[in-house]
Amino acid sequence: MMLVRHGQTPTTGKVLPGRAPGLHLSDRGLEQAESVAGRLAGVPVSAVYASPLERTRETAAPTERATGLTAGIEPGLVECDFGDWTGRELAELAKLPEWSTVQRAPSSFRFPDGESFSHMQARTVDAVDRLREAHPGGVVVCFSHADPLKAVLAHALGTHLDLFQRIVVDPCSVSVIAYHPGQAPSVLRVNSTDGALAPLVPS
């Protein structure tokens, strides 16, 4: 399972865009998306999936062209629902007393009129499990968002959700998890931003 965060957008690192529609990749993000497709050269990709939001589908597009596969739209990979915090500037949110909980005890936090981190992790892990089981033994590439991917990685690592903010997932980085029947998953890469990905596929 290869997990790809979407490419850079005009608001990356500035705003909490959440699920608001209409946010597209920046020129840099488009370049990053092309780079991911190039890094996948030689990988026997079985299927491609993307969250429903524009920025993930645009990131997946070069990989679709390179592999000849059409990305399935998977709602379970969508960004966390930030509720009333959607669209607010990160610098402004960081001043709120609740921000400390978001960073230090996220498992106990639910966004106002939005989703909890615990629910986000449960539905994203469920989506990844369903997709990998639909392609047994295959390489599945999923395009999603930072928080959902960090939550999946924390689950695969056996790390408590309260520590998931320690995991870094940069724009268009690739993280790789190998799943084995009857065994714990193996996290092969986290936040990889360069280099060929084919060597990570078991022969």
- Residue 200 resides in a domain: no
pLDDT at 181: 86
Counting the structural domains of the chain, the total is 1
- Residue 201 resides in a domain: no
Specify whether the CB–CB gap between 128 and 150 falls below 8 A: no
User: Rg for the chain (alpha carbons), in Å?
Assistant: 16
The domain spanning residue 105 has which CATH number?
Answer: 3.40.50.1240
- Residue 202 resides in a domain: no
- Residue 91 resides in a domain: yes
- Residue 68 resides in a domain: yes
pLDDT at 57: 98
- Residue 203 resides in a domain: no
Specify whether the CB–CB gap between 13 and 162 falls below 8 A: no
Interval 6-16 mean pLDDT: 97
Question: Mean pLDDT across the chain, nearest whole number?
Answer: 96
Backbone angles phi, psi at 56, to 5 degrees: -80, -40
The pTM of the whole model exceeds 0.95? yes
> Where in the sequence is the domain holding 185, given as residue range(s)?
2-195
